[in-house]
Chains A and B, each alone.
Chain A
Amino acid sequence: MSKSSSHAKLILKLHPYERKVLPLLAKTSDFQELISQSGLKDIEVMRALQWLSNKEILNVETQKTKMIHLGKNALHYQKHGMPEKQLAKALKDSFQSTATITKLTKLSSEEINASIGQLKRNKAVDMQKGEKGLELKATKDTKKFLTTKSLEERFLCKQFPFNYEKLSKEDEQALKCLNKRKDFIIIKDEKSVKINIKKLGKQLSKLKINQNVTSRLTPAMLKDGSWRKKEFRAYDIEINVPTIHPGKKHFVNQAVDYIKNIWLEMGFEEMQGNYVHSAFWDLDALFVPQDHPAREMQDTFYLPGKAKLPKKIYPKIKAVHEDGGNTGSAGWGYKYSKEEAEKIMLRTHTTVLSAQTISNLKESDLPAKFFAVNKVFRNEALDWKHLFEFYQVEGIVVDPNANLSHLKGYLTQFYKKMGYSKVRMRPAHFPYTEPSVEVDVFHPIKKEWVELGGAGIFRPEVVKPLLGIDCPVLAWGQGMGRIISAYWQITDIRDLYRNDLKQLREMKLWLE
């Protein structure tokens, strides 16, 4: 690219502010000058300089400088002359009383006294004691005093504010004297802008720059075709722009959607149901013994009141607990308590949905597959690794031909899609499954097995009273908090529901 075309390209990108400032740089590099000559505000000039500096056209340095300003009195005397000069002017060759002089000069008595001192030092006054006090007259040196400018007067002729660093020795002395006077000198620290024009800047400042570039293309231009005659300013499209935030789905829901989709792809039907259940549905229907430790107050949220129990199923569940009913089981061998069954609670697992789903199935509906990704509740105090409500992934396969290898098959498929290629089954115990399985996945980064939840085949004591026939039901209830947290590298599990809007706005999407 030739030099001139690269210059032209650069000029095309200039903002209107830059366009005003750049030509002025041929004449001055003084910040104040630039402001007054460009007609821009100081902040606009500053912005232009910043942008020009980004384009390597110049260097801007902002420095702190000690500046001398004139005070109220100094400004007054600058206009009306110093008081000692005013006094000298009023002197005549004959004695006059100070009162007459005061009247004449309108100086205060303080000013008169200070000025008499000055004149005396310069032998420009004669004094005597008269009837009405002190009397003054001019001397032969008075004229000379009036015509020579003093050090201080010369100093006051400077342009203010004046840079302290640029004071000469003489100036310093003058300043010292002036500073003794009231409201004469103010010294302030001020930011000053130092501009160094680079070679490129010198070249560009001499070129003709169009001040009438167009920033915005308007509908009017399109309507009347005037855009044809316009020069459109080029933007610096490589710089950063302010962030905007879109509306967005909560990140936990993004993960939940993905998990739901995996099961839908495998032909599962979604289960929904209440959070509030009777102990009958949540536990008894799943053959959890009524004195099982998990039912105790510290694990389960109970609500006051008594639930209504389903008339048809209740006697079957009672029988299966007491002596196995018609399931071929020995049962738990205790007296079943209706009172215990009527307790109302927040569901402790989504498995309650599976129990209710099975109770609504007919033999002709089989085989059938169901899933749920939903909340369960545990009576825990909130801390960095415990939540009192959290997600569980539930699934059942009601299939007369289902077996343990199928269970491993479904779960392996699921976890593969969740990014875990290795799945392991270990023996476990749950009152409602036999065999019972603990499911571990191999964490590819941590290189260790991570426990994610329980699974198994529902016991006949669960299936037969609900479905009416004996049929293997593969079942699982997996925790998802760990996987979801791991995806976003969350270590404090409370961060899943912190609802910090900054976090929600900036969090990356679930990209699986």
Chain B
Amino acid sequence: MPTITASKKELFKLIGKKLPEATLKDRISMLGTDLEEIDGDDIKVEIFPNRPDLLSTQGLGRALASFIGTKPGLREYKVKPSKKKVIVDKNVTMRPYTACAIVKGLTLSDQNIIDLMQLQEKLATTHGRNRKKSAYGIYPLESINFPVHYVAKDPKKIKFKPLGFEEEICAALIPEVHPKGKSFASLTSNWKQFPFFIDAKDNIMCMLPFTNSEETGKVTVDTKDVFIECTGIDLCNVNIALNILTTTLADMGGTIESLEIEYKANKKTFTTPNLNPKEMLLDLNRINKLLGLKLNQNDAIKWLKRMGFGTKKIVDKAKKDNLTVLIPSYRNDILHQVDFAEDIAIAFGYENFKEQIPEVATIAKQDPLQIFSEKIRQILIGLGELEVKNFHLIKETELTELMSTKQKVIKLSNSLGDHNILRDAILPSLLKTLSINSHNEYPQDIFEIGRVFKKSFDKSIDTGIKETLNLAVALCSEQVDFTAIRQVVDSVSLHLNTKISVKEISHPSYIEGRVGQIMLNKKTIGIIGEIHPQVLENWQIKAPVVNLELDLEELYKEARK
């Protein structure tokens, strides 16, 4: 989740008063943002992904001012038509939507520039999903000639000076040489043409989704008026981004002007930005029930305003308990009634909810297989064995090479570490445990109850991987022999009143003639034997090991018969 740095001085200006540090910390935390630290003027806050409108000092200040009550209610932003036009060409199919705006009369401070750059970057990372869904550009208005064209072109035929470069280069080189080009080249791997903003005098304004041009796309403290473009693959996402950017600039002191966006493909024209609030009916009964509160309509209005919403009372008598809520145009996280419930809960204060345990009678039940494994655990502990607990993910060599076997493994597609195999037996984990304990006291008699994973063609298994709960035991000391491990399985069998038998087999991990299948009612449920010295040498284990491993679920089924 993104973390932003907001300016405390700027924040106090926006909320209209200074707060003691403790109050500021508390209010930021209880607003629904995660305060990390306050260091001098820097406030570091983690912003949750549902509130991209808080990704700037201005956005945070706006929300905080409502929350603490200095400026509650819906913020209204006036939009004046600029009569300027952006023409969207038919061929920008790879990134078909744009929304644009003009903000005039700015006097930007250094802090404003920092805030603006931070907002643009964090917004593109989170809301824009690393520019995949949407990306944004801000330009000094003075250098742009309208109408502006949003158009896809062959980059080989275009030359311009990208941001941070001193000379013009061929646009086809940008994905290879420009830092932003390199970062986002993967988004464009199958593009033959790229989207560009080109002004009426054929000046290249930007190449998407990479970079603005050095000549037309650099905002400084001297910039008074700006042009903003947002482009992407989801119209709603692009519009919200534009609304967040323009309202932030308006909060920096600018006035907003709209543009006409003309889509050549369907000959439709939209006016952006659209900062009119969306309306939604509030179901106060449902909210009271969900929160366990008894708020009346006035309470609800008060708390909604603390979260920056507007309200309109309904005159319709049939719905007299209901309210219409005006949702600010920069918020896109209100999908359902319950989203109001959360905002009202935040305004009411999470700290003000009393804990309560309802008198609801339900019957507890433990998982039967877990109860069974606990019984098995008790037998083994009674036999003096120590329980160990290993990861389910192990290294490939641990399952194959070190076990002297060659088998197909279930490998993760994308592990960051070298533990990237789902184990198909617990034995390798136990040998690993013995291997790292060779300096400790013997005898080392250990067991583990855990899951193992096998590929399965059983149609009832949706993922194709069958998981079973296994028991594995390993006895390791100078004196162990096959009898010792056979006694363990017999002891388990005795206490379950089952008839376990052993049938000799061959297995590369075990000594020939000292390994068998564990059979229960003609079904193979496991393996028992003495580990081959080659395997012990592979693991650098210094004493003989006998082992058994069996399927606890099968054992359970038979024991319950």
Contact indicator A428/B48 (Cβ below 8 Å): yes
Stretch at the interface among A7-15, A61-69, A400-408: A400-408
Interface flag for B556 (CB, 8 Å): no
A287 and chain B: residue at smallest CB distance: B335
- Please give, as numbers and ranges, the residues of chain B lying within 8 Å of A156 by CB-CB distance: none
Of A245, A298, A505, the residue contacting B416 (CB under 8 A) is A298
Contact indicator B440/A502 (Cβ below 8 Å): yes
Which of A260, A265, A272, A427 gathers the greatest number of chain B CB atoms within 10 Å? A427
Interface flag for B382 (CB, 8 Å): yes
- Please give, as numbers and ranges, the residues of chain B lying within 8 Å of A436 by CB-CB distance: 342
Closest CB in chain A relative to B82 CB, distance in Å: 29
The CA of A457 and the CA of B338, in the complex, are separated in Å by 9
Closest CB in chain A relative to B196 CB, distance in Å: 25
Contact indicator A302/B336 (Cβ below 8 Å): no
Contact indicator A277/B365 (Cβ below 8 Å): no
Interface flag for B537 (CB, 8 Å): no
Contact indicator A399/B341 (Cβ below 8 Å): no
Of B356, B366, B417, B465, the residue contacting A382 (CB under 8 A) is B417
Question: If the complex has contacts A408-B355, A423-B355, are A278 and B387 also in contact, measured as CB distance less than 8 A?
Answer: no
Stretch at the interface among B87-95, B200-208, B247-255, B390-398: B390-398
Interface flag for B39 (CB, 8 Å): no
The CA of A334 and the CA of B388, in the complex, are separated in Å by 47
The CA of A67 and the CA of B165, in the complex, are separated in Å by 90
Contact indicator A426/B467 (Cβ below 8 Å): no
Interface flag for B353 (CB, 8 Å): yes
Question: If the complex has contacts A293-B49, A425-B351, A426-B350, are A265 and B364 also in contact, measured as CB distance less than 8 A?
Answer: yes
How many B residues touch A, CB cutoff 8 Å?
A: 88
Contact indicator A264/B357 (Cβ below 8 Å): no
Contact indicator A427/B436 (Cβ below 8 Å): no
Of B49, B292, B377, B432, the residue contacting A403 (CB under 8 A) is B292
- Please give, as numbers and ranges, the residues of chain A lying within 8 Å of B391 by CB-CB distance: 388-389, 497
* Interface residues in A234-272 (C-beta closer than 8 Å to B): 245-250, 252-253, 260, 263-272
Closest CB in chain A relative to B167 CB, distance in Å: 36
Closest CB in chain B relative to A206 CB, distance in Å: 46
> How many residue pairs between the two chains, A and B, have CB atoms under 8 Å in the bound complex?
263
Stretch at the interface among B24-32, B147-155, B517-525: B24-32
Contact indicator B414/A269 (Cβ below 8 Å): no
The CA of A403 and the CA of B346, in the complex, are separated in Å by 15
Which of B388, B390, B444 gathers the greatest number of chain A CB atoms within 10 Å? B388
Contact indicator B363/A247 (Cβ below 8 Å): no
- Please give, as numbers and ranges, the residues of chain B lying within 8 Å of A298 by CB-CB distance: 416
Contact indicator B48/A429 (Cβ below 8 Å): yes
Interface flag for B410 (CB, 8 Å): yes
- Please give, as numbers and ranges, the residues of chain A lying within 8 Å of B369 by CB-CB distance: 272
The CA of A501 and the CA of B541, in the complex, are separated in Å by 14
Contact indicator A502/B358 (Cβ below 8 Å): no
Contact indicator A427/B292 (Cβ below 8 Å): no
- Please give, as numbers and ranges, the residues of chain B lying within 8 Å of A406 by CB-CB distance: 292, 356-358
The CA of A260 and the CA of B414, in the complex, are separated in Å by 33
* Interface residues in B466-483 (C-beta closer than 8 Å to A): 467
The CA of A414 and the CA of B50, in the complex, are separated in Å by 29
The CA of A233 and the CA of B465, in the complex, are separated in Å by 66
Q: What is the 8 Å Cβ interface bit string for chain B, positions 373-394, against chain A (1 contact, 0 not)?
A: 0000100111111111111110
Interface flag for B496 (CB, 8 Å): no
Interface flag for B345 (CB, 8 Å): yes
Contact indicator B462/A427 (Cβ below 8 Å): no
- Please give, as numbers and ranges, the residues of chain A lying within 8 Å of B337 by CB-CB distance: 328
B385 and chain A: residue at smallest CB distance: A247
Question: If the complex has contacts A434-B338, A435-B341, A504-B386, are A302 and B412 also in contact, measured as CB distance less than 8 A?
Answer: yes
Closest CB in chain A relative to B22 CB, distance in Å: 14
The CA of A305 and the CA of B362, in the complex, are separated in Å by 40
Stretch at the interface among A37-45, A97-105, A367-375: A367-375
Which of A268, A327, A460, A501 gathers the greatest number of chain B CB atoms within 10 Å? A501
The CA of A269 and the CA of B368, in the complex, are separated in Å by 11
Interface flag for B45 (CB, 8 Å): no
Interface of B is mostly: loop
Contact indicator B437/A501 (Cβ below 8 Å): yes
Which of A297, A377, A435 gathers the greatest number of chain B CB atoms within 10 Å? A435
The CA of A270 and the CA of B365, in the complex, are separated in Å by 6
The CA of A434 and the CA of B341, in the complex, are separated in Å by 7
- Please give, as numbers and ranges, the residues of chain A lying within 8 Å of B385 by CB-CB distance: 247
B389 and chain A: residue at smallest CB distance: A250
Question: If the complex has contacts A375-B392, A501-B444, are A404 and B291 also in contact, measured as CB distance less than 8 A?
Answer: yes
Of A265, A334, A409, A431, the residue contacting B357 (CB under 8 A) is A409
Contact indicator B358/A409 (Cβ below 8 Å): yes
Contact indicator B387/A248 (Cβ below 8 Å): yes
Contact indicator A429/B32 (Cβ below 8 Å): yes
Interface flag for B85 (CB, 8 Å): no
A503 and chain B: residue at smallest CB distance: B440
Interface flag for A475 (CB, 8 Å): no
Contact indicator A457/B290 (Cβ below 8 Å): yes
Interface flag for B463 (CB, 8 Å): yes
Contact indicator A324/B353 (Cβ below 8 Å): no
Closest CB in chain A relative to B450 CB, distance in Å: 10
The CA of A402 and the CA of B341, in the complex, are separated in Å by 14
Contact indicator A275/B392 (Cβ below 8 Å): yes
The CA of A412 and the CA of B361, in the complex, are separated in Å by 19
Interface flag for B234 (CB, 8 Å): yes
The CA of A155 and the CA of B462, in the complex, are separated in Å by 98
Closest CB in chain B relative to A421 CB, distance in Å: 12
Interface flag for A170 (CB, 8 Å): no
Closest CB in chain A relative to B561 CB, distance in Å: 21
Contact indicator B366/A270 (Cβ below 8 Å): yes
Of A276, A310, A429, the residue contacting B467 (CB under 8 A) is A276
Interface flag for A344 (CB, 8 Å): yes
Contact indicator B393/A389 (Cβ below 8 Å): yes
Interface flag for B316 (CB, 8 Å): no
Contact indicator A379/B415 (Cβ below 8 Å): yes
Contact indicator B388/A499 (Cβ below 8 Å): yes
- Please give, as numbers and ranges, the residues of chain B lying within 8 Å of A268 by CB-CB distance: 362, 364
- Please give, as numbers and ranges, the residues of chain B lying within 8 Å of A510 by CB-CB distance: none
Question: If the complex has contacts A308-B462, A334-B234, are A412 and B416 also in contact, measured as CB distance less than 8 A?
Answer: no
Interface flag for B441 (CB, 8 Å): yes
Question: If the complex has contacts A382-B419, A427-B342, A501-B446, are A309 and B462 also in contact, measured as CB distance less than 8 A?
Answer: yes
Q: What is the 8 Å Cβ interface bit string for chain B, positions 268-295, against chain A (1 contact, 0 not)?
A: 0000000000000000000001111000
Interface flag for B413 (CB, 8 Å): yes
Contact indicator B129/A291 (Cβ below 8 Å): yes
* Interface residues in A453-512 (C-beta closer than 8 Å to B): 457, 459-461, 472, 497, 499-502, 504-505
Interface flag for B464 (CB, 8 Å): yes
Contact indicator B388/A504 (Cβ below 8 Å): yes
Contact indicator A379/B384 (Cβ below 8 Å): no
- Please give, as numbers and ranges, the residues of chain A lying within 8 Å of B350 by CB-CB distance: 424-427, 437
Interface flag for B110 (CB, 8 Å): no
Contact indicator B362/A404 (Cβ below 8 Å): no
- Please give, as numbers and ranges, the residues of chain A lying within 8 Å of B29 by CB-CB distance: 426
- Please give, as numbers and ranges, the residues of chain A lying within 8 Å of B51 by CB-CB distance: 429
Interface flag for B367 (CB, 8 Å): yes
* Interface residues in A127-159 (C-beta closer than 8 Å to B): none
Question: If the complex has contacts A276-B453, A367-B362, A408-B354, are A293 and B336 also in contact, measured as CB distance less than 8 A?
Answer: no
Question: Closest 7 interchain pairs by CB?
Answer: A403-B292, A429-B48, A427-B32, A435-B342, A247-B381, A329-B336, A408-B355
Mind listing 12 A-B residue pairs with CB under 8 Å?
A264-B364, A267-B361, A303-B413, A305-B464, A310-B462, A333-B234, A389-B391, A399-B358, A435-B341, A500-B440, A501-B440, A501-B441
* Chain A interface residues toward B at CB < 8 A: 245-250, 252-253, 260, 263-272, 274-278, 291-293, 297-298, 301-305, 307-310, 324, 327-334, 344, 346, 367-369, 375, 377, 379-382, 388-389, 397, 399, 401-406, 408-413, 423-429, 431, 434-438, 457, 459-461, 472, 497, 499-502, 504-505
Known: A247-B385, A248-B386, A423-B355. 12 other contacts (CB 8 A): A246-B381, A250-B387, A263-B364, A303-B422, A329-B335, A329-B336, A381-B416, A404-B353, A405-B353, A409-B358, A427-B30, A499-B390
